[in-house]
């Protein structure tokens, strides 16, 4: 079965663009994953924990034979490979990889929450998502990515690189 997932990727430590590019190259190495599209990179103001360096963020569209929980595990393995350490919530990281959407599924388990619960509140996710899938309908909020971006209250800076 071929599933479609939208994946958010970000970094705010070291060579941020290099970390993002290397993570993107890792994803297709796992069990038939195929990257179908990729947004531009964006320089983004920190969200949630503001006393840290700005991020580089992007979104990819992925075709995968994996289930959502299995994809989540693969992405965690990639984060570990990049020595991601989870110290502070929303804190600095070499790489952060999140499943934003998985088909039109709603999954609410201890380890996996899809759609990502904060998509509508984050310009750094909505702007690159809007670049590659403006008409995608959020399966819970029943609004397109474009509508979510237009209505978000987040005013943090998101600058195309």
Selected catalytic residue, list 53, 88, 89, 98: 98
Selected catalytic residue, list 87, 89, 96, 122: 96
Pairing of strands 107-108, 113-114: antiparallel
Active site residue 89: no
Active site residue 108: no
Active site residue 70: no
Distance CA 103, CA 13 (A): 31
**128-132: long-range pairs with CB below 8 Å, 24+:** 128/8, 128/39, 128/40, 128/42, 128/57, 128/58, 128/59, 129/6, 129/8, 129/39, 129/59, 129/100, 131/39, 131/40, 131/59, 132/6, 132/37, 132/38, 132/39, 132/59, 132/61
Active site residue 93: yes
Selected catalytic residue, list 84, 88, 122, 154: 84
Annotated active-site positions, please? 84, 93, 96, 98
């Amino acid at each position: 079965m071929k599933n479609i997932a939208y994946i958010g990727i970000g970094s705010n430590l070291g060579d941020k663009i290099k970390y993002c590019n290397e993570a993107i190259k890792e994803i297709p190495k796992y069990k038939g994953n195929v990257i179908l599209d990729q947004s531009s990179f964006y320089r983004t103001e920190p969200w949630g924990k503001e006393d840290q360096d700005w991020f580089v963020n992007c979104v990819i569209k992925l075709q995968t034979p994996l289930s959502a929980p299995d994809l989540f595990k693969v992405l965690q393995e990639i984060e570990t490979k990049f020595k991601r350490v989870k110290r502070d919530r929303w804190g600095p990281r070499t790489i952060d990889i999140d499943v934003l959407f998985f088909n039109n599924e709603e999954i609410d388990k201890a380890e996996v929450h899809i759609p990502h619960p904060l998509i509508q509140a984050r310009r750094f996710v909505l702007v690159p998502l809007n670049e590659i899938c403006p008409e995608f309908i959020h399966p819970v909020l029943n609004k397109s990515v474009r509508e979510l971006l237009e209505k978000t209250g987040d005013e943090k800076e998101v600058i195309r690189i």
